[in-house]
Structure formats: structure tokens, C-alpha cells
Amino acid sequence: MELKSIFAPLWKWRWIILAAGVIAGLISFLISLQQPPQYLSRTTLIIGQSINNPNPSSSQFFLEQQLAAIYADMGTREPVRRGTMDALGLDWLPPYTVRALPETQLIEISVTDSDPNRARAVAAELADQLIKSAPTSISSDQQDRQKFIDDQLNTLQTDIEATKNEIDQKKLEMGSLSSASQISNLEQQIFSLGNKLSTLQDTYASLLSTTSKGALNSLTIVEPAEVPHKSISPSRLVTSGLAALVGFLLAAIGIFLLEWLDQTINIPEEAAKILGVKQLGEIPRIPKEENALSYVNDQPFSPITDAFRSLRNNLEFADVGKSVKTILVTSPGVSEGKTTVSMNLALALAKANKRVILIDADFYQSVIRQKFKLTKEIGLSDLLLSSNESISKHLVSLFNGQLYLLPAGKTPPNPSELLNSDSANRVIELLRNAADVVIIDGPPFITSDSFVLAAKADAVLVVVSPGRSRRDILSTANEQLKMAKAKVIGFVMNGSAKRSAYYNYYQKPNHTPIKGQRTANIIKNSVDQSPKKAADQTKKVL
């Protein structure tokens, strides 16, 4: 039940949610058709030479990682951008990123462009511009000097290797000597060669420190930029699907938000949860061209009329007409169809051989007085103001005597006090003994009169209109009904939307109203008698 209440708004607005997703996906697909494919070219650089060092220190790694972050920031600065544009002859650059890979000495440059060749050229030139910004990079006038130093380093490297080989050879010869003088002479030679080797190594290290080889603050390309051959643009179907999903989600969230802000009741489960009683009926929306107050009498073979019969049957299962004889019909607010339900329910009961009296107890806004154009403004209020008034002369016969109506009469200055008086108890008791069922069309819950009448009636039938009745008003009214110890017998959903085919009727045959004027006259005569005589007279009617 709870899950149904949660997902009910989604089902109610399912077509809007579906349309939002489809429109979002379609728009995304059309936009993607206008966009050219995108290509990604990437190049990677490394800081320092510790990767080639067999025994690197942790301090070297840390320093090189810090330098990588600095160079990555420099790659986004204007000097590097301007240098790249000048070198390539461009007045703009495609989108690119320069980032230091976490916890490494690597710097990655990525360029995205619709032209794959331009993407590769920009990535390569950005790498060159970063290398030029390093202090180990050399200018053209320093290249000759650097070549000389490289040659010297190569010579020293050859001498060092030759000296090492000579020392190893001397050590092998020492094992074959037996003369002390020869061994001493060979040791002196080895010692001299060792001094020579140290001198060569110191010289090599000194020259090497003046070059970029082995420098910590140097940049080297480890992954050159290449021309991409495959587009990185996501699939149009994937993009459209994601857009449709986002559209679905946004529409669903919007629906949930609107439903949360909307305090009106839309499904029966909401009313049942608040009132704690069952739904006794669901009345479809009556077409505007029909007379709603006489619908059951005018359209006896309509499915809507059958809905009123179902309501009548469900009420009869609750002993209506036996232990339950007075029913207050009310609603949370105005214009929710309580009078329509009251009148048509009374007609449905009357057509089932029930003697029914309908009391119009809404002093503030009597729909019955307006619809039936009652010229005499006399009725319930007059009976409550004067205990000597005859009830029978205030009853109005409706629908060829099928039922009797006690109009509201003039609006009294103190309606709530009058309804709570002994006179009201007397009138209700007389009518209760004169008829099988007394339907009280009461005011809505927004007035205190409805709670006074609820305490006097045997049962209360609440009319809930989807999209009109408010949850907060119904919840507050339910608490007041509990304090008044009123018995809520159930609720009816009035004005539910149905498909147009629902209103197709069978051909209406000729029919005659059940219980004619004779039955109505017996009811009218019995209300002026004592309760005992009225009850005896009631037994003789059917």
C-alpha cells in the first residue's frame, strides 16, 4: 500500500514523464548531429633522470614530483600558449590540458580538436615549449660548446673503461708472480692506475654536472604525440540515451516535488490512510450537460447510476436502514460534490423500496435551494426556532414522491447553537422514526456545524473529491470527529475521471418510479405523530 502511494504520482503523470525523456533524448540526438567528431592527441614528458638511476633517493623522487606540478601549471600559462601559437602560426589553440600524473614525475599533455593533424602538432609544440622553459635547455649558440663537452665525456668514458680493464688485468697477473720485487712493482702500478681512474671519474662527474644529463630539473619526452585515427566523441545513441534518462529523472523529481507541495488528495489510499476507514464507492465525473442532483432518476441505466447503487449496497452491508438510520454526508471543503452524493444516494435508496427523507442542513450555501428553486424559505431553521411548528408542512415532495426533502430554510444568526439544541434532537428523532433512512446533507468540515451534526447522526459518510479535497483539512477534521465520538462509516471518491467510453449507456426503457405519492403521504403524515405511533405507521407502509 505504501509503495503504491509512493509511485502513484509517477503513474498518474506517466505520459508527461515519458514525453520529457523522449524530448530530451531527441534534442540531444539532433544537437549531436550538428557537432563534428573530436580527436585526442596525447604526449608525455618526464622530469629528471632518476628513472634511469639504479639507486635513486627518495628526496630525488619528491623533488621531481614537485617540479612536475610546477611545469604542469606553467603549461597553462600565457607564455607557453603564446609560444605555441607563434611556432605553429595559429591565432588560437584548441582545448588542451596539462597535468602532472599523481605521485609520479610524469607530465601529460592532451589536446582535443576536430582536426587530428592539428591536435598532434599542438600537443608536440606544447611539449617543446615546456622543454624550452627548463633551465637545462640550450640555445643555438651553446650547441657547439655542448658538443665539445659531449665529446670530452665520451673520451673520458673510454679512458675510464680502459683503465678499469688494465687494473683488472694487473690483478690477474699478480696471481702468477712469485718474486717479492715483481709483486711490489705490480702493486705500485695498480695503485697508480687507481689514482688515474679516480682522477678520470672526478673529471667526468665535473663535466657531466654542466650538462642536462643526470640533471633533476630537466624535461624529456617519453611518449611523443601521434596523429589520432579514431574519434573520441561518444556514441550518439549513448548520448541520446543518457539525455533521455536525465529527462526522465528530472521530470520524475519535478512530479514528486509538485505532488509533495500539492495538499490535495488524488488517490483513495490517501483518504483511507487519513480517515482509517474503507472506501465505500467511487462516483465517476457526471457530464456537465446533465443535471447532477437528479442524475440517478434521469439516467437509471447509466454506469454512473450503477456506481451510486454500489455505494447504496455497501452502505446496506453496514446495516443502513436498521441500526444505522441517520447518515451525515459531508466533505472537507466546498464544491466537492457532497450535495450531489446526498441527493443521488437518497434516490438510489428510495428506488430500493426505502423510505428516505433528505435534510438540507447547509445553512450557508444551500445548493438544493438554488437547483430546485424553492420559493418558500422555510424549513429546518424554522423547526429549530419554534418547537410548535408542524414538521409535515415543511417537507417537500421530490421526484413524484419518491423521497421527501426538508429544506434548510432561512439562515439563522446562530446555526451551530441551534443544531446543538434539544429541538434539533427532537426533529432528527421524529424524522428517524418516520423513515427508513434519513440523509443529512451537512455543511463541509470547514464549519463547526458539521461536527455538531456528526455527533447526532448514526454514521458519517465523507465525500472526497480527487484534486480538490485537501489532506490537511481532512486530517484536522478526522481528529475533531474522533473528539466528537462520531462514527465515520466510510468515504466515497466523487468526480473520478473515467475514459469517454465509460459514459456509453444502454438504451433507456420506459420505467416508473417506485413508491409513488401514496408512500410519500404516509411519510409526511407520520412525522407529526409521536415516535411510537410513527414507528407503528412506518411498519404499515411496505
What pLDDT, in 10s, does the model give residues 358-394? 999 888 888 887 777 666 667 888 888 876 777 888 8
Q: Are residues 205 and 283 in the same domain?
A: no
- Give the amino acid at 394: H
Q: Which residues of 1-16 are buried (b: 16+ CB within 10 A; e: fewer)?
A: eeeeeeebbeeebeee
User: What is the DSSP code string of 410-431?
Assistant: SPPS-HHHHHTSHHHHHHHHHH
Last residue in a domain, options 179, 211, 243: 211
At 509, is the secondary structure helix, strand, or coil? coil
Q: What is the CATH number of the domain that holds 406?
A: 3.40.50.300
Q: How far apart are CA 151 and CA 157, in angstroms?
A: 10
Q: Which residues are CB-contacts of 432 (< 8 A; sequence separation ≥ 6)?
A: 325, 326, 438
Q: Are residues 207 and 285 in the same domain?
A: no
**Which contiguous run of DSSP H or E holds residue 476?**
helix 471-483
Q: Are residues 325 and 200 in the same domain?
A: no
Q: Report if residue 513 sits inside a domain.
A: yes
Q: Are residues 349 and 429 in the same domain?
A: yes
How many other CB atoms are there within 10 angstroms of residue 24's CB atom?
21
Higher pLDDT, 49 or 133: 133
Q: Report if residue 264 sits inside a domain.
A: no
Q: Are residues 406 and 299 in the same domain?
A: yes
Last residue in a domain, options 211, 232, 266: 211
Asked if 524 and 539 count as a contact pair (C-beta separation under 8 A), the reply is no
How many other CB atoms are there within 10 angstroms of residue 537's CB atom?
17
Q: Which residue has the cell 455505494?
A: 311
Last residue in a domain, options 211, 230, 259: 211
Asked if 294 and 399 count as a contact pair (C-beta separation under 8 A), the reply is yes
Asked if 137 and 75 count as a contact pair (C-beta separation under 8 A), the reply is no
What value does the mean pLDDT take over residues 141-156?
70
Tell me the three cell numbers of residue 542.
411496505
Break the chain down into helix, strand, coil percent, rounded to 5. Answer: 55, 15, 30
Q: Which residues of 333-359 are buried (b: 16+ CB within 10 A; e: fewer)?
A: beebbbbbbbbbbbbbbbbbebbbbbb
Q: Report if residue 132 sits inside a domain.
A: no
At 261, is the secondary structure helix, strand, or coil? helix
Q: Report if residue 103 sits inside a domain.
A: no
The pLDDT assigned to 310 comes to 93
| pLDDT band per the 50, 70, 90 thresholds, residue 214 | low
Q: Are residues 170 and 280 in the same domain?
A: no
Asked if 225 and 127 count as a contact pair (C-beta separation under 8 A), the reply is yes
- Residue 502 lies in domain: 276-541
The pLDDT assigned to 63 comes to 86
Q: Report if residue 298 sits inside a domain.
A: yes
Q: Are residues 281 and 206 in the same domain?
A: no
Q: Report if residue 73 sits inside a domain.
A: no
Q: Are residues 183 and 291 in the same domain?
A: no
DSSP state of 385: H
Asked if 439 and 329 count as a contact pair (C-beta separation under 8 A), the reply is yes
Q: Identify the bridge partners of residue 112 per DSSP, sorted by sequence position.
A: 40
pTM: 0.55
Q: Report if residue 454 sits inside a domain.
A: yes
DSSP state of 294: G
- Give the amino acid at 521: N
Higher pLDDT, 36 or 143: 36
Q: Are residues 205 and 286 in the same domain?
A: no
| pLDDT tens string 1-25 | 456 666 766 777 788 888 888 898 8
The pLDDT assigned to 496 comes to 82
Q: Report if residue 372 sits inside a domain.
A: yes
Count: domains in the chain: 2
Q: Are residues 301 and 448 in the same domain?
A: yes
